[in-house]
Amino acid sequence: MPSAQPLIGEGLVVRGVRVATRDVVLVKGIVEAREGIAVVFAEKGGDLTICAPAGRERELDELVDDLCTDVGAMRITT
């Protein structure tokens, strides 16, 4: 599977999270429901890369915090 890395560039902020494989679709749905805050790339298993415009960094961090609390996501280095 190709990596999301070539798609990530200037003007974007990136956060990595790890969730249970069974929760990947749930997390993608949660992110999509947040009205365009970010996009999610599934790297392998439950390792996800979440990208947002730099101007929405605060919202992205709040989203990741919510995922950690509500879904048991764990922040990882991308």
pLDDT tens for residues 39-61?
A: 999 878 999 999 999 999 999 99
Residue 35 is predicted with a pLDDT of 84
Spell out the domain ranges in the chain.
21-76
SS3 of residue 35 by DSSP: coil
CA dist list (Å): 55 to 18, 19, 69, 77: 24, 26, 24, 21
Prediction pTM value:
0.84
As a dihedral over the C-alpha atoms of residue 42, residue 56, residue 67, residue 34, rounded to 10 degrees, the angle is: -90
Q: Which two tokens stand for residue 9?
A: 């560039």
Mean pLDDT of 11-23: 95
Residue 50 is predicted with a pLDDT of 95
On whether the CB atoms of residues 16 and 76 are closer than 8 A, the answer is: yes
pLDDT band at 9 (very low <50, low <70, confident <90, very high): low
Percent of the chain at pLDDT > 70 equals 87
